Amino acid sequence: MITATQIRGARAMIGMSIEELAAASGLPVETVTALEKGEFEGEPHALFDVRSTLEAHGIIFLSSGNQDEGGPGIRLRARISTDDGIRPENLNAANDD
């Protein structure tokens, strides 16, 4: 289960508006607003849709107990870059910037 605070924080962390989250998750703006206020009753599918959408945008939800201190939280998934830079053996004056 995720909390309303985690939803708000995750959305802010990735710079997504309520309208963008609603569109991406296929839900009405009013439903996303209600979820962010903690009004989960009768909306289990909506909560799942919001969570799935945020996870697809790189959010990892942490439950309480995942860390030494504190309660539930969020973090960004590590970005995998295909650009590893220039390997030391390939360094030369031509690529010295």
Q: What is the pLDDT of residues 70-85, one digit of tens each?
A: 778 899 987 666 666 6
What is the three-class DSSP state of 15?
Answer: coil
pLDDT value of position 67? 54
- Residue 3 near residue 38 (C-beta atoms within 8 A): yes
In this structure, is residue 28 part of a structural domain? Answer: yes
List Cα–Cα distances, 66 to 38, 51, 69, 72, in angstroms.
Answer: 22, 18, 9, 8
- What mean pLDDT value characterizes the chain? 86
In this structure, is residue 97 part of a structural domain? Answer: no
In this structure, is residue 29 part of a structural domain? Answer: yes
Q: Which structural domain, as residue segments, surrounds residue 35?
A: 4-76
pLDDT band at 29 (very low <50, low <70, confident <90, very high): very high
DSSP code of residue 91: -
Structural domain count, the chain: 1
In this structure, is residue 25 part of a structural domain? Answer: yes
- Residue 72 near residue 61 (C-beta atoms within 8 A): yes
In this structure, is residue 86 part of a structural domain? Answer: no
In this structure, is residue 87 part of a structural domain? Answer: no
The CATH number of residue 40's host domain is 1.10.260.40
In this structure, is residue 82 part of a structural domain? Answer: no
Tokens matching residue 3: 């909390």
**Highest averaged pLDDT of the listed ranges 48-52, 69-73, 89-93:** 48-52
Cα distance between residue 91 and residue 60, in whole Å: 37
